[in-house]
Amino acid sequence: MSAAIALYTALGIPLIAIGVANLQRSHRVPWIATLIADLGIIAVGIFVVLARPERAVAADNFRLDQLAGIMLLVIGSVAALASATSRAYLDHQLEGDPLTEEKRRLYWNLFNLFTLTMILAVVSNNLGITWIAVEATTVSTTFLVGFKRTPKSLEAAWKYAIICSFGLSVALLGVVVLYFGATKAGIPGSQALLINVLLRHASELNPDIVRIGIGLCIIGFGAKAGLVPFHTWLPDAHSQAPAPISAMMSGVLLSVASSVVLRVVELSTTILGPSYGRLLLLTIGILTMGIAALLIIGQTELKRMLAQSSMEQMGLVAIAIAINSELAIAALLLHIVVHGIAKSSAFITAGQMEETTGKHQIADIAGMLRTHPQIARGFILAVVALVALPPFGLFWSEAGIITATVQAGYLLPAILVVLLLLIASVGLVRAGLSLTISEPRNISNHITRPVGSSIPILVATLVAAVVGLLGTPTTHIITHVASNILQRV
């Protein structure tokens, strides 16, 4: 199979699912079609990672290399978990609603559009198309954040749209500056934003112009990854969105934006050398982790706490991108995969807790191990994975990123990273214990039947554990992918 066929398959699958969602009246068919489509995306991702299609660049504007393969694998996995649990969520959320069918159709259309735009962002070889795709994720998810149509969810959707669009306008300015620099260097306008072309003509580009463009792109696309200074949208949007959508936003959307930042940093490293992008991202990453860790410690609302945990993890991802060594990138890839699965599981179980109890505060949900042990066990497993305990893969990925930071000569940042990870872990563990083993405040508030099944969560955490047992940042396939990324071709 060529890169072009794999590419068109990945892009076509969500479009087929959207068509099915609009043609079929049965609410089961769009759900099944979406789930099958997500499994198909996983299959394409596995093919790209293992088989390495014969041409990475397809039709100039698209690039299906192994980084794209890893991201397709994560997109498909998280989307499959989210779609598997969405049906029960919608059944509960839309019970008695006269517009049930219309809202179901809207949900599945936006869900698959969200998936499509993320795929487009990770396979793009054109910075202009990349920007359009990332902005399109904002459009689709804004309506999903406000899906409940409550005052809080609508406020969160508005805040999300404004802050992310403003951040991405900064990225757009960076793209325009890079286009200007490329055309000034004699690159034809039709090719001036192609990543592989910019890499080939690195020596011909004006470093002063590139420096401005790269800085604006890192800050602007970093907004979508939840990085400082445009991080304030993240807790509101993730806490108000439907739980499966929160899972996708935290589990994969942030990583998709981070992969775009990685592409930009590869340009920066080739054209300007490693120091410029490294210092900028190290500063942003540590600031993001610091703010998130302090917020987690004092947080009382469940989904906001998980959103701030995602913000902390993206700060760590930014540090790995900044170091940009083979070990750092290998650890980053492992981190993106396992964090996507674990954080998605945590958000979905958190959503089940909130829907089951009708509460959002950690103290009000307390005691789930007594009232709904299956949900509580799933949440415990997700928290154990998120605090990087063996055998889950975050233990190896975080250790790899810290080791790579020390090897690069940044001992103080490495110490800060360890300290901030410990602070965040204490906050997560404390909340997890309160939610599960503490005494329930009011058992009468808990409905009898839990919302949703715990089976998808158990399967997902089992996968996260298996990945941790079989893969480390030194595993051959991971280091091979990291090496290919660093070749900058």
**pLDDT beyond 60 at 448:** no
**Predicted confidence band of residue 94 (pLDDT cuts 50, 70, 90):** confident
pTM for this prediction: 0.94
Please state the rounded mean pLDDT for residues 49-54: 72
Q: What pLDDT shows up at residue 99? A: 64
Task: Give 375-418 pLDDT, tens digit per residue.
Answer: 888 889 899 989 988 888 899 999 999 999 999 999 999 999 99
Q: What pLDDT shows up at residue 244? A: 93
Give me the helices (H) in 188-273, please. 195-200, 207-224, 233-240, 243-248, 254-272
User: Greater confidence, 95 or 349?
Assistant: 349
Q: What pLDDT shows up at residue 443? A: 55
Please state the rounded mean pLDDT for residues 61-77: 92
Taking the CA atoms of the chain, what radius of gyration do you get in angstroms?
Answer: 21
Residues of the chain with pLDDT > 90, as a percent, come to 62
| Measured distance CA(289)–CA(30) in Å, rounded | 39
Type of residue at 209 = I
Residue 225 CB neighbours (<10 A): 30
Residue 428 tokens, joined = 């997560």
**Predicted confidence band of residue 368 (pLDDT cuts 50, 70, 90):** confident
**pLDDT beyond 60 at 54:** no
Q: Which of 156, 72, 79 is nearest to 110 (CA)?
A: 79
Q: What pLDDT shows up at residue 344? A: 93
| Measured distance CA(485)–CA(1) in Å, rounded | 21
Burial of 105 (0-12, 13-18, 19+ CB in 10 A): middle
Task: Give 139-166 pLDDT, tens digit per residue.
Answer: 999 999 998 888 999 999 999 999 999 9
Alpha carbon 72 to its chain's center: 11
**pLDDT beyond 80 at 424:** yes
Residue 121 CB neighbours (<10 A): 28
Q: What pLDDT shows up at residue 59? A: 66
Mean pLDDT of the chain: 89
Length of the chain as a residue count: 489
**pLDDT beyond 90 at 312:** yes
**pLDDT beyond 70 at 261:** yes
